[in-house]
Amino acid sequence: MPPVVRSVASLLLGVAFLMLANGALSTLIGLRLSATESAATAVGMITAAYYAGLTLGSLYAHRIITRVGHIRAFAAFASVVSVAALSHALFVDAPLWAVLRLTQGFCMAGLYMCIESWLNGTATNESRGQLLSAYMVTLYGASGVGQQLLRLDDEAGVRLFMIVSILLTLALVPVALTRTTPPQLPNVSSFGIWRLYQSSPLGVAGVFISGSITGSIYGLAPVFGASSSFGVSGTALFMSVLILGGMALQWPLGRLSDRFDRRSVIIALSAALSLTSLGMIAAAGLDQSLALMLVAPLFGGLAFTLYPVCLAHTNDYVRREDMVSASGGLILANSVGAIIGPPVASALMTTTGPAGLFSFVTGGAACATLYGLWRTRVRPPLPAEAQAAFRPLPQTTPTVSPLDPMSALKTPIAH
């Protein structure tokens, strides 16, 4: 383990506990509601509520952190998330769960802010890449592995909520005991959406569509799994391969985008995602569970790679000193897409069946493909050598933006 990563190991352990729990909880909610008449609609609204809370937290949670400090704020946010997770076990009620997920989204944004500003405060220009990679692997890896906790479900339906609550509480321990000095929050004031759109229309459109797609996958893929007779174990495996496939393909596809016009890569990636989604629809129609499992890693890899490639494309058109605020704006645009997408996808699932999720992804990816083709006609390409190097960033909060080695932000400034 590199020394710089070892220095923040306690923080990354806290992230691992958080993502094990949060990844399992998101899928568990879909499974719990899958037996109800309006399962897709309810899960779509609950998922939108979570991302609405995440967006609000990205905008306002920093006030709590600034007022009470990182460790106290982290403890407060983690405690509320833990209580909210355990509260799901009291009543199976969609409106109540939407309120709980809204609260969890806000607090998760606060937790991400604490961790990401801590990592940024530890990073040097030479170590940002290592820290960012370790953070990304922890986020995706723990979330993918966390799906396997669903195998511990019990007939009473309470055990898993208790396990999630325990993990969220355990996340407090390594952070509370860390000897790393809490930093100030970095300045992550974001570009306005219109200003960003003027700089990179395809980048903004792409991250919005990406948010709508990935938000829908996280929330509604468990409903699809339950409706496809995967069972709990099968749904857990399905979600794991989706998420881990998303982690595995980001780097090779991103490096490919360094060699060619990124718009061409975005177009090809979106078209491939649309075709893969059609393949998922066909496999679902033929009740080919094995085919769905085999295609799922590719589907997840394409879906989760659209955001970082669009982010890199946008960075090609903004000044170096504006990369942090531009990345922050794109994360918020992605979050808005994640709020809007799940209710629309759930409506398609309600009217056309469980495979309506993939119909939604097909349509979204096709829109990105067509818009990208149009953009190639109205703007000349950048030479490949003029493009910035690809660096994936997680879709958490704008506070993660300074970890991008290209930003080279050194001076932390409070919001």
Cα 388 to Cα 58, 73, 202, 252, 392: the distances in Å are: 26, 36, 16, 16, 12
pLDDT at 400: 78
Residue 240, Cα to own-chain centre: how many angstroms?
14
pLDDT at 348: 94
pLDDT at 414: 39
Cα 311 to Cα 286, 316, 335: the distances in Å are: 37, 9, 14
- Region at 261 (left for phi over 0; alpha for psi -120 to 50; beta for the rest): beta
Q: For the chain, what is the total number of helices (H) and then of strands (E)?
A: 15, 0
Please check whether the two domains, 1-181 and 192-397, share a CATH topology: yes
Measure the CA–CA gap between 85 and 218, rounded to whole angstroms. Answer: 17
**Where in the chain are the domains?**
1-181, 192-397
- CATH number (3.40.50.1820, 1.10.600.10, 2.130.10.10, 1.20.1250.20) of 192-397 reads 1.20.1250.20
Q: Smallest Cα–Cα separation from 134: which of 116, 110, 147?
A: 116
Measure the CA–CA gap between 333 and 35, rounded to whole angstroms. Answer: 33
Residue 74, Cα to own-chain centre: how many angstroms?
20
Confidence (pTM): 0.91
Instruction: Count Cβ neighbours within 10 Å for each residue of 244-283 and write b for 16 or more, e otherwise.
Output: bbbbbbbbebbebbeeebbbebbbbbbbbbbebbbbbbeb
pLDDT at 33: 86
Measure the CA–CA gap between 148 and 136, rounded to whole angstroms. Answer: 19
Block residue for tokens 């999720």: 357
Contact 315, 323 (CB under 8 A): yes
Contact 328, 188 (CB under 8 A): yes
* Structure token digits, residue 267: 């177009």
pLDDT at 272: 96
Name residues of the chain where pLDDT drops below 50.
Answer: 409-415
Return the CATH architecture of domain 1-181.
Up-down Bundle (1.20)
Helix, coil or strand: residue 211: helix
